[in-house]
Amino acid sequence: MSIATNLLQIKSTLPEHVTLVAVSKTKPVSDLMEAYEAGQRIFGENKIQEMAEKWEQMPKDIQWHMIGHVQTNKVKFMAPFVSLIHGVDSLKLLQEINKQALKNNRIIDCLLQIHIAEEETKFGLDEEELALLLSSNEFQELKNIRIVGLMGMATFTDDKEQVKKEFTHLKTIFDNISSKGALQYVSTLSMGMSGDYQLAIECGSTMVRIGSSIFGGRN
Ligand SMILES: *Cc1c(COP(=O)(O)O)cnc(C)c1O
């Protein structure tokens, strides 16, 4: 199956309120162009250097999402163009994004990553850390970032009940911060990948990050 066919097939199954991020990490520009020509405009990458190289080479109406863990010292390389940063999990990183956004005269949209999986290796804040961050004075001072929602990754397991429990947990946290109204722009809940996006949508996801089901497996 071609990239365009895969893409259109997946898109046809997504409800209208769900945004598709085509995760193109490790894939060549020619593959991304195939998806672009089939209408895709949002691409997700997990390495800043690679995303910047692709941004330079590709049409400028693409929205680039950083979905990987972000190193503070590399924020400056994506600050001129990144449209959404999914994996923000510390005040220190937010402060750096704010600083670089200011330098570029922009406001950069971010998602806070919440730790919902059992594995210790997955990054993210827990509920208490999230509350502390949002209520801190340091956070209130950041005028060049905008928190538009939350992101999470479920445990890598075949146990659907486990994954469902974790997605539901994230949705509950999302609803809590939305209802408090402390964050004006919260509307995005980024959860779900190739293996679990249907379940994620059932649990309330509004943004799915799909790579291998569109572009094929990665080495
Ligand atoms: C690679 C990656 C994806 C896409 O994974 P697939 O299983 O290929 O769909 C989604 N989210 C994050 C954070 C990733 O790193």
> Measured in angstroms, how far is the CA atom of residue 191 from the centroid of ligand 1?
10
Is residue 75 in a domain? yes
CA atoms within 13 A of residue 55's CA, in its CB half-sphere: 20
Q: What is the pLDDT of residue 180?
A: 77
- Cα 82 to Cα 115, 152, 178, 195, 204, distances in angstroms: 23, 19, 24, 26, 25
- Cα 198 to Cα 14, 122, 154, 178, 207, distances in angstroms: 8, 21, 13, 23, 11
Note whether 40 and 71 are within 8 A (CB).
no
Residue nearest ligand 1's atom 15 by CA: 68
Tell me, using a 6 A CB cutoff, whether residue 67 lines ligand 1: yes
Note whether 109 and 84 are within 8 A (CB).
yes
Is residue 217 in a domain? no
Distance of CA 83 to the CA centre of its chain: 10
Number of C-beta neighbours around residue 194 at 10 A: 16
In sequence order, what are the residues at sequence separation of 6 or more whose Cβ sits closer than 8 angstroms to the Cβ of residue 24? Answer: 31, 32, 35, 43, 44, 45, 54, 211, 215
What is the residue range of 127's domain? 3-212
- Cα 83 to Cα 72, 75, 108, 211, distances in angstroms: 17, 13, 7, 18
Query: Looking up tokens 């804040």, which residue turns up?
Result: 125
Q: What is the pLDDT of residue 141?
A: 96
Tell me, using a 6 A CB cutoff, whether residue 65 lines ligand 1: no
Distance CA 177, CA 131 (A): 9
Q: What is the pLDDT of residue 118?
A: 85
Test site for ligand 1: of 43, 67, 189, 219, most ligand atoms within 8 A of the Cβ: 67
Distance CA 7, CA 2 (A): 9
Is residue 38 in a domain? yes
Q: What is the pLDDT of residue 200?
A: 98
Note whether 207 and 189 are within 8 A (CB).
yes
Structure tokens at 72: 């503070």
Regions of the chain where pLDDT drops below 70:
122, 181-182
Is residue 28 in a domain? yes
Tell me, using a 6 A CB cutoff, whether residue 207 lines ligand 1: no
Is residue 74 in a domain? yes
Is residue 219 in a domain? no
Note whether 219 and 211 are within 8 A (CB).
no
Q: What is the pLDDT of residue 183?
A: 76
- List the CATH number of the domain containing 193: 3.20.20.10
Give pTM, 2 decimals: 0.96
Q: What is the pLDDT of residue 182?
A: 65
Tally of domains within the chain: 1
